[in-house]
């Protein structure tokens, strides 16, 4: 259904969010890739998710936790700042994610973000 909207149609639905032009273009490309390469399903693998247009590590982790229930943490600027205030954060987002994966109990990882 999203592919049928096309980029311009999707932009009409997303114009209130930041960077909607680029996001709409990547969303259409991602939908086409999911249809062609993944039988219309999001893969449950971070590397495959990050190979999709516009998908970085945080988005891949959000999909893995929210859609697939995998115990991982989607570290973003907010998580980094909160972790920094509580002296958990290290030097960058990736190190913060790795540290949180070590210290957050397994049962909380899916919902910690």
Active site residues: 58, 76
Residue found under tokens 């680029």: 22
Q: Specify the long-range contacts of residues 86-94, CB closer than 8 Å, at least 24 apart.
A: 93/58, 94/57
**How far is Cα 34 from Cα 39, in angstroms, rounded to an integer?**
6
**Closest residue by Cα to residue 103 from 79, 76, 77, 67:** 79
């Amino acid at each position: 259904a999203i592919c049928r909207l096309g980029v311009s149609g999707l932009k009409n639905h997303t114009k209130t969010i930041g960077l909607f032009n680029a996001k709409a273009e990547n969303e259409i490309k991602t939908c086409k890739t999911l249809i062609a390469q993944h039988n219309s399903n999001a893969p449950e693998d971070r590397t495959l998710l990050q190979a999709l247009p516009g998908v970085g590590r945080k988005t891949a982790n959000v999909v893995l936790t929210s859609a697939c229930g995998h115990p991982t943490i989607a570290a973003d600027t907010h998580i980094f700042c909160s972790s920094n205030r509580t002296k958990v954060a290290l030097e960058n987002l990736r190190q913060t994610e790795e540290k949180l994966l070590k210290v957050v109990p397994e049962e909380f990882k899916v919902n910690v973000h």
